[in-house]
Structure 1
C-alpha cells in the first residue's frame, strides 16, 4: 500500500520490547496514531531480568551462525533484518557511548578449538546444502592463521576460524531507548499490565484498576507476557498460540577489558555451550550462551559464569585481567518448534488483532523482517525500509 492510499488508523500495541517499540516507531512514522501498553515503569533499560529480553541480549546479528540449530528460512529472514536494521539506525538520531553507531556490520567470526571443529563444520555444511542461501548470503571464508591475526590480533593463534562477511551487531539498550524516544507522537502507557486482547480492544490493569481501550487495530507483541495472561483470554482457535509459549533462559556476563581489542562479534563452538563474545563501547565485552532450556529467572550460577568466562578466555587470553561488571539472566519466548508465528484476526465490525510471537533466541535478528511481513499481511502501512530503498 502506498503512503497516499494507506488509511491512517488508531493502533494499540501490547508490549514494549523489541517488537513493540520497533512497531510503534515504524507505524507512527507512517502517520498512524499509536498507543503502547507495557507493565514496565518506563522506557529505561532494566538489569533485573524482568524487563524485555532485548535489554539483556548481546545484540549479535549473525544469521549464518544461527544455522547451527535453525532452518534456512531463519537465516534468510535474519539477512533481510540486517539491511532493515541499517535503515532504522540511519533514521535514528541517537548514538551509543562515545558516539558509537547503533548498528555495525564488519562481519563476524565463527571459531572452534581443534576438538570442536566438527560443530563448526556442521554449520558450514548446512550453508552448502541450502541452495537458496547461496544466492543471497555471502559465503563463509575460512581463515588461515595469518588472516585471523590480521583481522583480530588479540585472538588465540591456531584457532579454526571462518569470517562471516556482512554480519554485525547492534547496541540493544541504546536502540530500545532510541526507538521509544524518537517514535513521533506515540502515547506510551507505562505500568499497564495487559490482561486481554481481542480485535480492536485491549484490556489492562493500572494501579489495580481495570481499563478498556478501543481502536481500529490491536497488535499483541508481548513475547512471554502473552502466556501469562492466556488464562484470561476468550477460548479461540489461537488459544494454543499463547498457551504453548515457553521461556528459554539466556545468561550474559559483561566485562570491562581495557586493552583487549575485539572488532567483531565472535561465535565459539564450545563443547557445552554456543558461546558468543561481543565487543561494546567503553572497553566492554559481553559473553553469553545462546540458550538454556529453563524458565529459571534466578541469578547466573557459579558453574555457568565460570564456564562462559573460561570459554571466552580460551580464545581471547587478554581477558585474564578483565573485571566483571555485571551478570544477568532473562527469558526469551519460544514455541514448541522454536519458530515464530503470526496470526491476524478480524471481527464483524472490521476491527483487527495481529499477534506475532515465538522469536526464540532470534529476537533482534528476526524482528525487522518478521514485523515488516506481518504488517504487510495486515495491510498496515509502515516505515520499515532498508537503507538502499
Structure 2
C-alpha cells in the first residue's frame, strides 16, 4: 500500500474520531487529523492547561545522539526524524513556539573524565550505526568559551553534538490548545475522563475511530504501562547566559540544563523507578541545584519558579508502541522520557496506519508496519 509522506495531508477513510487524552500526543493527533478534514472529539480527564500531562514537566530536548547513552538506535532514528519535522508541525499553529537547533554541549569535571571517555566512545559508536547523525566535535577550554562565553574556561574539555535542538514544551502545549480552540472541526471536552470501553467505533452516533493517548491513564486497558518518576526545577536566572542545552557528565546524576525564553532554565537529571508523585526530596533538589551552580555561578542568584515531579508512561522495554485492542481503536503509549523527541515519528506512523492500515515509515523505527488486534 502507499505510505503517507510525512507532512503531507492524507486522505482518511473515516470522517470522525474520538481522542482520549490531551497531552502531547493527543493534541498533536487532534490538530493533524482536523487538518486532514476529520471531525474530532478530544476528551481529557483534566483541564486545558495539561496540568496532569507528563509533557508539562519536561525539558523538551531534541537530542538523539545525546540520548543514545540510554536509548537504542530505533529511538535515535525517531529523534533525528523529529528534528526535521518539528518546524513543519510548528508552522501552522495559532501561536509561535520557541524552537532551536544550536546543538548540545556536554561538559564534565576532571574527576569524571573516565565517565566522559566512556560516553564519547558510546556516542561515536552511535554515529557508526546511525550515520545520518552529525558526528560529535571535541572541544578544549577555548572552544567551550567560544560557544558559551558565559561559562568561560571553567571546563577543560567538552563535546558538541551538532544540530541537536529543543523547544518550549509549555509554549507548544499552549499553541496546540489555541489551534484546537480555533478549529471548527474540534470539540474539546475538559474534565471528561473516558475509556475505550465507552465507545463503539463505527456504530450509529459513534466516532468512526478511537485513539487512546492517555499515557498512565490507559493502564486499566494496557496493564504493562508503568510510571517512571522524573523531577525538574524551573528557575529564572538573568545572570546565566547559556545559549544551548548543556549536559554535565556525572556517574550518579548526569545533569541537563535547558535554556528557555526569557531567561528561564529547566534543570533536571533524576529518574526513579517509582510512581510516587510526592514533592521532590531535599537531596535531589540540592544535587540538581549544586550541579547547575557548578556549570554556571549565575545560578546562585536564580529564583526558583517551580520544583515539579511527574511520572512518564513507560512500557517494559522502555520503547514506544502502538496497539489495536479491537478494530477501530488505536492505542499509543510508552513514550517514556523521550516524548518530544519521538512524538513526530509516532505521529507520522500513526497517520499512515490510520490512513492506509499500513506504515512504510514504521520499519525505520523498528515498529510494526501493520496492526493486529492485541490482548490486554
| TM-score, with length taken from structure 1 | 0.83
User: How do 1:1-389 residues align onto structure 2 when only pairs under 5 Å count?
Assistant: 1=4, 5-41=11-47, 43-46=48-51, 51-95=52-96, 101-130=97-126, 133-155=129-151, 157-183=154-180, 184=183, 185-197=185-197, 200-201=200-201, 214-227=206-219, 230=220, 233=221, 242-289=222-269, 291-347=271-327, 352-379=328-355
Q: Distance in 2 between matches of 1:132 and 1:369?
A: 21
Aligned to 2:363: none
Q: Distance in 1 between matches of 2:94 and 2:117?
A: 40
Aligned to 1:386: none
Residue segments in structure 1 that go unaligned for 5+ positions in a row = 96-100, 203-211, 234-241, 382-389
Is the 1:270–1:311 contact (alpha carbons within 8 Å) kept by the matching residues of 2? no
Distance 1:250 1:182, change over 3 A: same
- 1:215-255, CA deviations, whole angstroms, 9 ceiling, x for partnerless residues? 1111111111111xx1xx5xxxxxxxx11211111111111
Q: Distance in 2 between matches of 1:19 and 1:4?
A: 18
Is the 2:9–2:35 contact (alpha carbons within 8 Å) kept by the matching residues of 1? no
Following superposition, the deviation at residue 79 of structure 1 comes to 1.0
Aligned to 1:385: none
Q: CA RMSD in A?
A: 2.3
Following superposition, the deviation at residue 258 of structure 1 comes to 1.3
Q: Distance in 2 between matches of 1:214 and 1:374?
A: 21
- 1:153-189, CA deviations, whole angstroms, 9 ceiling, x for partnerless residues? 2225224311111111111111011112113221111
Is the 1:201–1:213 contact (alpha carbons within 8 Å) kept by the matching residues of 2? no
Distance 1:354 1:88, change over 3 A: same
Would you tell me which structure has more strand in proportion to its own residues? 1
Following superposition, the deviation at residue 282 of structure 1 comes to 1.9
Q: Secondary structure at the match of 2:123?
A: helix
Is the 2:138–2:160 contact (alpha carbons within 8 Å) kept by the matching residues of 1? yes
Distance 1:119 1:30, change over 3 A: farther
Q: Distance in 2 between matches of 1:380 and 1:182?
A: 26
Is the 1:200–1:353 contact (alpha carbons within 8 Å) kept by the matching residues of 2? no
Is the 2:69–2:123 contact (alpha carbons within 8 Å) kept by the matching residues of 1? no
Aligned to 1:98: none
- 1:116-138, CA deviations, whole angstroms, 9 ceiling, x for partnerless residues? 23333333323333466452110
Q: Paired residues, what number?
A: 346
Distance 1:122 1:187, change over 3 A: farther
Q: Distance in 1 between matches of 2:289 and 2:252?
A: 13
